Structure 1
Amino acid sequence: MRALDTLDDLDRRIVVAMQHDGRASWRAIAEMVGSSTATVARRGQSLIASGVIKVAINPALGATGQIDSFFIRINCAPGTQLMVAEQLVAHEDVRFITVVTGQYDIIAELVVKGGATHYPQLLEELQSIQGVERWRSDLVMHIYKVSFDWGRQLFADTLALPDAGNGFERYAEPESCNPTHFDASDWKIIDALRDDGRETFQAIADRVGMNESSVRRRFERLRSSKCIDILTLVPAPALGMGAETLLTVKVTPSRMDAVALELAKHPAIRYLAATLDENSLFCEVILPSTDDLYGFITSTLSQLDGVEGWTASMELLFLKRGFIETPWWRSQVAQTEKKPAA
């Protein structure tokens, strides 16, 4: 993997533009970042080839039927965190997983097909992973915000991104996308884009035995109806972001919705959801530094009426997001293991 400290300002602008739209043409990205199409295409292809960026397409939650999500907090036997994490990465129902600091070793999200009543069927399999010592589950009741282009906070005033507000989406109708919106051809197109979200429509058409215009039309229909997610995965340090933090915020029950709506406006909030346990909000915040994190906590979080307190975990290694394994975590571990002892 390319060293993250070798990315310059243009590289980072390209990354942020691709976070905004991972399938945008190189010409469109060049217009966003203020450079030539040839330069942007060369730089962008290099970022993808070196594993700094991965673009993937996934069906939206609910596309396969009823689901419920659980946040999982795991304590491991000493020295087994990465072995446990690697086992969880391979499980198709794990949506994200990260190794963290604090009172837990691993935090993950498990998406249960068929709803919460099917969760016990997964417990025996996953809790029996060697190294797991403690397993705590918490039901996700409501998602307030998912921001795929959290990096735009770095270039808010200088990057010509199309207006997308602050990335806040209320998910007022979480069942709006369901299996009836897909047919067999749609699933073939999604499968073709799962590993390489920038695959051309013509290449997909050749692979699935359709014409290019039909593939394009079907894709745009799924996209406009929010039945697919376009994910541009990138390690936060590639954008100079050194403080990825998961917060569990305890809130006065009557203020839950109001606090969530205020937090969702903050550009550093990538994910925000209400959980069942202890009237809490689960929040991921991505900021440049611990100083910025301190400022967010003291100037924003602690000032909100209804916030009673919080616990926090710094993210050390992100292995999976949006059901997609990150292309960099294995090389990061390998580099760490090669470093000589001080």
Structure 2
Amino acid sequence: MLRRDGRATFSELQNSTGQSESAVKRRLEHLRSTGVLYFDVQHDSESLGHGVRAMLWLTVTPSALDAAGRALAEHSEVRFAAATTGQANLTASVGSSSTGGLYTYLSEKIGALDGVQTVETALTLRRVTHLTYEPSR
């Protein structure tokens, strides 16, 4: 039920599982406390002043990859970051209020990261899908 609609109410979960509402609440709290269930919130970035979105592919020297990744994850502009394989070994999705703000972010924050050799930047024109989670079978 939660996979279909993460906003399902306790009474909807009670009806779909046949358990009491208190049992549903206890089960959800157990799942949250053990890390099986967690919240990943999506929002309209434009309403929060981040109307310009971009994908970054960074090529970082291997000895600096961990430090660069950790620093990148601390940037308020970053929505998602991951170490990857291939020529670009660090990727990120970022948001900014304007193209000028993106330029400043790239030149001041990304440019200050040790070990960054190249950065490829592509503006996101339109999101065609939202974050989903399907467990592997």
* Short-chain TM bin: 0.7 to 0.9
CA contact under 8 A between 2:59 and 2:88: conserved in structure 1? yes
Letter matched to residue 253 of structure 1? P
Distance 1:255 1:231 in 2: 29
Counterpart residue number, 1:250 = 59
- Per-residue deviation at 1:297? 0.7
1:125-274 to structure 2, matched below 5 A, reads 192-274=1-83
- Per the alignment, in what secondary structure is the counterpart of residue 32 of structure 2? helix
- Say which structure is richer in helix: 1
- Structure 2 segments unaligned to the other structure (5+ residues): none
CA contact under 8 A between 2:57 and 2:88: conserved in structure 1? no
Counterpart residue number, 2:105 = 296
Counterpart residue number, 1:11 = none
Counterpart residue number, 1:318 = 127
Distance 2:30 2:76 in 1: 28
Distance 1:197 1:229 in 2: 10
1:94-133 to structure 2, matched below 5 A, reads none
- Per-residue deviation at 1:279? 5.3
Letter matched to residue 293 of structure 1? L
Letter matched to residue 53 of structure 2? E
TM-score, normalising length from structure 1? 0.37
Q: Deviations over 1:241-275 (max 9, x none)?
A: 21111100010111100111111111111111111
Pair 320,231 (structure 1): closer, same or farther in 2 beyond 3 Å? farther
Pair 258,320 (structure 1): closer, same or farther in 2 beyond 3 Å? same
Q: How many aligned residue pairs are there? A: 133
Distance 2:37 2:122 in 1: 30
Q: Deviations over 1:211-246 (max 9, x none)?
A: 111111111111122212323322322323211111
Distance 1:231 1:258 in 2: 25
- Say which structure is richer in strand: 1
Q: What's the RMSD between the two structures over aligned residues?
A: 1.7
- Per-residue deviation at 1:207? 2.0
Distance 1:302 1:207 in 2: 52
Letter matched to residue 305 of structure 1? D
Distance 1:297 1:262 in 2: 14
Distance 1:230 1:321 in 2: 15
Q: Percent identity?
A: 34
Letter matched to residue 11 of structure 2? Q
Residue number among 278, 284, 307 corresponding to 2:116 in the alignment: 307
CA contact under 8 A between 1:253 and 1:279: conserved in structure 2? no
Distance 1:247 1:291 in 2: 16
Distance 2:88 2:49 in 1: 33
Pair 279,289 (structure 1): closer, same or farther in 2 beyond 3 Å? closer
Letter matched to residue 98 of structure 2? S
Distance 2:112 2:125 in 1: 27
TM-score, normalising length from structure 2? 0.87
- Per-residue deviation at 1:205? 0.5
Counterpart residue number, 2:92 = 283
Letter matched to residue 63 of structure 2? S
